[in-house]
Amino acid sequence: MLADLSLDLASSVMLDARNTFGTVVMMRPPLLALFILMVFAAAAPAGTIIHAGRFIDGRNDEPRGKTSIFIDEGRITQVVDGFSDPKPGDRVIKLVDCTVMPGLMDMHTHLQSQHSKDSYTERFFMDQADYALRSTVYARKTLLAGFTTVRDLGDNGVNSISLRKAIGEGWVPGPRIFTSGKSLATTGGHADPTNSLRGDYRRDAGPLEGVINGPDDARKAVRQRYKEGTDLIKLTATGGVLSLATNGQNPQFTDEELRAVVETAHDYGMIVAVHAHGAEGMKRAVLAGVDSIEHGTFITDEIIGLMKERGTYYVPTLLAGEWVASKAKEPGYFPEVVRPKAASIGPLAGEAFRKAHTAGVKIAFGTDTGVSPHGDNAREFELMVAGGMPPMRAIQAATRTAAQLLKIEDRLGTIEPKKIADIVAVEGDPLKDIKAMKNVVFVMKQGEVFKTP
């Protein structure tokens, strides 16, 4: 810019020498331009430069060495090799012993709760305000663990929508939330809120609460979520581990119901995330055109083939499998209707992941945190690498691939000019030791720093 201007000045002076009558006229525009530039430079807010010792941009398979990342007004403006000198007033953040990467994204969280022995009874004692205040603590932990974006997949119907607003307004710190609100289930299914309650509480829940029977209910339940302001739809295509029901894997939606959910959701610009353990329910969901399969415990070669053909994402939630399997060994931790499901389904998550990864299914990072404790999300990276995924791929699953699943890759998921400045750093080299992902020392979300070494 300055170089361009001085060239203009030089050429105008040369013209002046040949035409004395035009001197004043010829000098004026370039000088004015210089004046405007100086005033602008004095008034421009200082930018931020991150000096990254090691740099993973989320896009390339190879890390880079010393890199400078320029940030202005919440956006990345420039990425250059080496450590650039700051202009006067610029803020420099030195992360020279760290690996710097895009803000991490967890595609499966439940910020409303965290599983404990009291989980099955707390709803009789917790008000909405209690849930809301507690979830701010979980949101903060998630952000400080390096997760600047999450997909929240199932709550009581209001909590995550209010939390999304509170974080968006800057009232509380937390990740950017894309929420499904209340999960959709069929009567007695994995997300029916009245399962196993005593008779007078066991009401006939309907589409308003996300419980559907038949395609008309399915459409109404999706439209209800849209009305409430959710970003996407979650449905529970098979039984699940933690619900108070005997079967953890049976199909719970008909083809017609699944198609009605998917078609309506897509009409409203919402993707569909599907909880599935058993193969039959999973296959029906994939054939109905859902966008992601969560858990996928009993995935088969046939389903893997269908998912590859249709571009369906797989969100493995290995951490939830590990967590329920370990708690199933603790006597009395789970109610007896849950314990056998946790003991049999939990340990199988790793094998499903290995199969899907080897076959080349698109895998996006997701933990089901809220089952396991909030803030421990990065343990999933270790489990993915133990399951055969190279560390760089695992990091990409939590950055670029997750952004693609959410259809926000035009603004998030990689560190490139024009993208929103969600940037985190870990100490050491996660490509050599993936455990480093658990030690996030720097968190920037949309240009704002929430954690520094």
CB of 279 to Zn ion, least distance (A): 19
CB of 154 to Zn ion, least distance (A): 6
Contact 359, 304 (CB under 8 A): yes
Piece of 162-170, 195-203, 321-329, 361-369 that binds Zn ion (CB under 5 A):
361-369
Helix (H) or strand (E) holding 54: strand 48-55
DSSP state for residue 367 in the 8-state scheme: -
Piece of 2-10, 111-119, 304-312, 366-374 that binds Zn ion (CB under 5 A):
366-374
Length of the chain counted residue by residue: 453
Helix, strand, coil % in the chain, rounded to nearest 5? 40, 20, 40
CA 123/CA 295 separation, integer angstroms: 25
Piece of 71-79, 93-101, 368-376, 424-432 that binds Zn ion (CB under 5 A):
368-376
Sheet architecture: strand order including 313-315:
233-236, 272-276, 292-295, 313-315
DSSP string, 339-361: HHHHHHHGGGHHHHHHHHHHHT-
The per-type count for the chain, helices as H runs and strands as E runs, is 14, 16
Contact 260, 271 (CB under 8 A): no
CB of 429 to Zn ion, least distance (A): 32
Q: Which is nearer to Zn ion, 46 or 244 (CB)?
A: 244
Told to check if 368 binds Zn ion by CB under 5 A, we report: yes
Q: Which is nearer to Zn ion, 192 or 368 (CB)?
A: 368
CB of 165 to Zn ion, least distance (A): 22
Contact 441, 428 (CB under 8 A): no
Q: Which is nearer to Zn ion, 58 or 239 (CB)?
A: 239
CB of 110 to Zn ion, least distance (A): 6
Q: Which is nearer to Zn ion, 236 or 414 (CB)?
A: 236
Q: Which is nearer to Zn ion, 368 or 380 (CB)?
A: 368
Piece of 64-72, 346-354, 364-372, 432-440 that binds Zn ion (CB under 5 A):
364-372
Q: Is 45 helix (H, G, I), strand (E, B) or coil?
A: coil
CB of 170 to Zn ion, least distance (A): 28
Q: Which is nearer to Zn ion, 219 or 379 (CB)?
A: 379
Q: Which is nearer to Zn ion, 155 or 209 (CB)?
A: 155
Contact 396, 385 (CB under 8 A): no
The residue whose Cβ lies closest to Zn ion is 368
Q: Mark 376-415 with x for binding to Zn ion (rule: CB under 5 A) and - for no binding.
A: ----------------------------------------
Q: Return the closest-CA partner of residue 253 out of 217, 225, 228.
A: 217
- Binding region for Zn ion (CB under 5 A): 368
